[in-house]
Structure 1
């Protein structure tokens, strides 16, 4: 049998971190078993589902590289199928019409609560003969009253629910629309899902869904219920902990493979290994290795991983994602070094692509003024002669290379009998406007000959004005 998993988000908002991790685990399980991964949009909550949320989910999945083999399927386009199955269940007696009013249901629950009983439907309409009436009704599943539902969860082991604790679930509302728990069952059956990976908040739904599957004579998939993700403070992850939507991490400068690597380790492990390529994840992933306990999100660890991927990945790959940030920050890269060169030069210094883009602006744009602190320290009177000599040497270079520039700096320091820092630091501030940059010879090379000479002239003028003021 082909392994088949699914990710089935509700389009009521962005693709959040918890959903992305569930999607990743489901995707990895399918790939690890040479199976198929299905994307299904559970949009039966018509009032809250929006096209914008659907687009955000698809965008998040595509950015993460969690490509699906089938779908996306939409539940709202499958109502005819659901109604067909409901009619069949009414005919076979595994479902029934319930005419109980809202007032009766509320009074029943109040009485059960007062008696310390579990609040569930009392089966009032369960064995009534069908009525020829126009009064409103819902359709309920006739849940077994004896025995129990047992399933072996890949993460949590054996789980058992006594059938007499389960409700006669509503499978169609009074307006005729099918309910979530019923649609999920029909979808998993029709789509041949063999393993359902989802959040632990669905554990109570599982026995109800298994009973419906059995009533339909459908195969029961395997299940894996994963724990929630907590914030650093131990509370459920929410907006107050920072970015929780996947695309916000894109906006904040994270590489998709860094986020994937972080998410896979947020509840799953393979020894002490921290860094995993997607290929390694696929080869090593087992649902049984997922931790039962909740996991805490740690932004510092994500930053460490992201910096690792920025430094260690192919510069061309990083540049592809950096380009989005350059555009987002309105940095025109047409007149300046290739982004691959920027990645190579600055990767050691940046934790995020957003930082990398911001720190590279001077390679493409002239700056209005020098950083005050850096200028005060390095653009003093003693810097005038080194800047003037360097300007002359750079203008006379027969070829514009890092090696030639480095030699010019060395020659200037030797000629003036000063340390390399007395030449390099004023040069750095002159060319970048600030006191931090990659190696000054590489920086000057990437800024370019004409632009470097122009900025050194500006620095010489700045120093001269300072001497004369």
Structure 2
């Protein structure tokens, strides 16, 4: 929603507004507002107006605007468009259960309180001291409206929606209408689950004498099995998950651009937000819920990773190591080592989180480096002789470069011992990285350095000898 909101605002010279809708006090989650701010900033979708930035129509938190809503509630009551309801939660629960038992099609509030005074209602069962305020939906409520994405839409008939709760907080339905009008919102972008609420909102605009905005109801994202994405069951439904996994914000933004929307001209899937914005058209948005295919995101992320300059990618790997808690601070020579290793692993990376498994051997202590049992078990019986020959050759290398290391090992092991490269270099790879699969061997040894390389070869040699 934020991506499409911001694209439309940028294209039309408008403002992208972040408003915190926190009137449902039972659903507040500590830290959620900070998380929204941080993830939008990380994704490059900074708002133009928000609680933290301020703006001409603040405050931007609904809980700080309670005095703004009350006069409009009073106006609706005075004009006969709303009424007080003193029904208790228990009475409403019993009403719904009875409606279900009777298999009624016209479920919703039964208007017991309509037209009653407090004293009259107090004489009946199921009375609550503190009333709510409900809309009085007319019989001729208009249920058809024009949607920017879907064209003419027919919504179901609403019931008498609560617009002011017993705790004095407005419900979403009243608050968004009042705020959208007062904040000058001309385009409301939201999920298709709000289509059924649109007739209520249009009535409020009409009753309050305001020009209603245009509505764009986006399709809901789906899992690979076409089911609706659940925030509780699918971690990918939350932006923080993508940052934790090491996706690049520009790749995720590009991926989101392709959901329910065609690629830019020529079918080009890799495109910038500026390119997306330049040709943005609500008419191109699909009404079919797009499948959230993480495999597609992995491919895009790999493309973006490989397009980054080495120093930029190295910086992002380091930032990820710090933010994920693998590092609490950058170790000595940490930036130098990561920058040197980055070209060796970039082609094999799908996400930043994969980098540490590929380079952690470069930061291991020579005396405690773990030799993978499976990797050691796959070495041939002549591994000790190969390691001894490799150590002798490497000890005599002059300038310690990848080229010099490769030349020495090939001369000693391939030409001198007549070994095939995969058998010649496997013991050296296991000795220096601890595994049978590592970044390019000779470049890795250049980064590791002569002393560490020789110490690790000695350790594995001793281990194999028993």
- Shorter-chain TM-score category? 0.7 to 0.9
Deviations 1:141-171 (A, max 9, x none): 3444436254321221112458xx3334322
Q: 1:186 to 1:378 in 2, by over 3 A?
A: same
Selected match of 2:317 from 307, 313, 322: 322
Could you tell me how far apart the structure 2 residues matched to 1:280 and 1:140 are? 46
Could you tell me how far apart the structure 1 residues matched to 2:137 and 2:215 are? 20
Structure 1 residue 296 and structure 2 residue 297: aligned? no
Name the counterpart of 1:443: 444
Alignment of 1:209-220 (within 5 A): 209-220=201-212
Structure 1 residue 256: deviation in Å?
A: 2.2
Could you tell me how far apart the structure 1 residues matched to 2:112 and 2:422 are? 89
TM-score after normalising by structure 2: 0.83
Could you tell me how far apart the structure 1 residues matched to 2:117 and 2:378 are? 93
Selected match of 2:64 from 49, 53, 77: 77
Q: 1:317 to 1:145 in 2, by over 3 A?
A: farther
| Secondary structure at the counterpart of residue 69 of structure 1 | coil
Could you tell me how far apart the structure 1 residues matched to 2:137 and 2:237 are? 38
| Secondary structure at the counterpart of residue 299 of structure 2 | helix
Could you tell me how far apart the structure 2 residues matched to 1:188 and 1:435 are? 60
Could you tell me how far apart the structure 1 residues matched to 2:380 and 2:49 are? 62
With 203-212 and 330-339 compared, the bigger mean Cα shift is at 330-339
Structure 1 residue 201: deviation in Å?
A: 0.7
Name the counterpart of 1:86: 73
Could you tell me how far apart the structure 2 residues matched to 1:440 and 1:103 are? 72
| Secondary structure at the counterpart of residue 34 of structure 2 | helix
Structure 1 residue 27 and structure 2 residue 6: aligned? yes
Structure 1 residue 297: deviation in Å?
A: 2.3
Selected match of 1:159 from 153, 160, 178: 153
Structure 1 residue 118 and structure 2 residue 106: aligned? yes
Structure 1 residue 276 and structure 2 residue 255: aligned? no
Q: 1:57 to 1:108 in 2, by over 3 A?
A: same
Structure 1 residue 442: deviation in Å?
A: 1.1
The answer to whether the 8 A contact 1:148-1:160 is kept is no
With 432-441 and 450-459 compared, the bigger mean Cα shift is at 450-459
The answer to whether the 8 A contact 2:254-2:270 is kept is yes
The answer to whether the 8 A contact 1:335-1:364 is kept is no
Structure 1 residue 344: deviation in Å?
A: 1.9
Structure 1 residue 325: deviation in Å?
A: 3.9
Could you tell me how far apart the structure 2 residues matched to 1:111 and 1:329 are? 54
Structure 1 residue 359: deviation in Å?
A: 2.1
Name the counterpart of 2:382: 381
Deviations 1:304-324 (A, max 9, x none): 222222222333333333224
Name the counterpart of 1:402: 402
Q: 1:389 to 1:278 in 2, by over 3 A?
A: farther
Structure 1 residue 36: deviation in Å?
A: 1.6
Deviations 1:146-199 (A, max 9, x none): 36254321221112458xx33343221234321110001111112211111111
Structure 1 residue 262: deviation in Å?
A: 2.4
| Secondary structure at the counterpart of residue 438 of structure 1 | coil
| Secondary structure at the counterpart of residue 425 of structure 1 | helix
The answer to whether the 8 A contact 2:394-2:409 is kept is no
Q: Specify every segment of 5 or more residues in structure 1 that has no aligned partner in the other structure, as ranges.
A: 1-21
Aligned residue-pair number: 441
Q: 1:302 to 1:425 in 2, by over 3 A?
A: same
Could you tell me how far apart the structure 2 residues matched to 1:242 and 1:85 are? 40
Could you tell me how far apart the structure 1 residues matched to 2:108 and 2:419 are? 87
Selected match of 2:244 from 251, 276, 290: 251
Name the counterpart of 1:334: 332
Name the counterpart of 1:458: 459
Structure 1 residue 77: deviation in Å?
A: 0.5
The answer to whether the 8 A contact 2:191-2:220 is kept is yes
Q: 1:193 to 1:338 in 2, by over 3 A?
A: farther
Could you tell me how far apart the structure 2 residues matched to 1:177 and 1:370 are? 62
Could you tell me how far apart the structure 2 residues matched to 1:390 and 1:410 are? 9
Name the counterpart of 1:348: 347
Name the counterpart of 2:36: 57
Q: Specify every segment of 5 or more residues in structure 2 that has no aligned partner in the other structure, as ranges.
A: 52-59, 123-128
| Secondary structure at the counterpart of residue 208 of structure 1 | helix
Q: 1:258 to 1:333 in 2, by over 3 A?
A: farther
